[in-house]
Amino acid sequence: MTEPLDLGEDKSLLLVDDDEAFLRRLAKAMEKRGFEVETAESVAAGKAIATARPPAYAVVDLRLEDGNGLDVVETLRAKRPESRIVVLTGYGAIATAVAAVKIGATDYLAKPADATDVTNALLAGSDTLPPPPENPMSADRVRWEHIQRVYELCDRNVSETARRLSMHRRTLQRILAKRSPR
């Protein structure tokens, strides 16, 4: 068994994610690590908890069904400036990472992130980088995720997506027809 983590006196952790199965798994894993976990499945619920009981730690999904997780980060940062906040997202992009850090996130992780990745990011010192993930996405997977994101942002319009990606329309259609790489 590993040594208990030094979480400080306040072990409160807020998890905000609209993926119910992921939220339950992560909550259970974080409780085993010594955190006192509270969960929310929406921006509204996350903001309510952040306002009423601002936690020492938070893990917030960027894209939630009722809005943007950065709203929860802003609320929490206003209520408890010293809290350590990690933003999670399935759509890793430099622009959103910069926005998350600018409004107060401590770190930014792309899904799939496991409890170890999340814990390392939450507890990393401000001057140290957390260790690289054990199972990072492959370059093919990152490319595929980026193409999917642009495709969704273009309302699933193949021609517009191809134009924005500077890619031939037929090449894009072949990529979209394939299954996602591992």
Domains and CATH numbers, the chain: 12-123 (3.40.50.2300), 139-177 (1.10.10.60)
Are the C-beta atoms of 72 and 58 separated by less than 8 Å? yes
Selected residue with higher pLDDT from 2 and 116: 116
Q: CA-CA distance, 158 to 152, in Å (whole number)?
A: 10
Mean pLDDT (whole number) for 16-38? 91
> How much is the pLDDT for 182?
66
Q: What is the pLDDT of residues 80-135, one digit of tens each?
A: 999 999 988 776 666 677 777 888 888 888 777 888 888 888 887 655 565 666 77
Q: CA-CA distance, 95 to 30, in Å (whole number)?
A: 28
> How much is the pLDDT for 1?
41
Q: What confidence tier does 32 reach under pLDDT thresholds 50, 70, 90? A: very high
Q: How are beta strands 107-110 and 84-89 bridged, if at all?
A: parallel
Question: CA 66, 69, 70: angle at the middle one, nearest 5?
Answer: 130
Exposure on the CB side of residue 8, measured as CA atoms within 13 A: 12
> How much is the pLDDT for 104?
83
Cis status, amide bond into 130, omega within 30 of 0: no
Q: Which contacts of 94-101 are long-range, i.e. CB under 8 A and separated by 24 or more positions?
A: 96/62, 99/70, 100/62, 100/70, 100/73
> How much is the pLDDT for 80?
92
Report field, pTM of the whole predicted structure over 0.75: no
Q: CA-CA distance, 111 to 128, in Å (whole number)?
A: 21
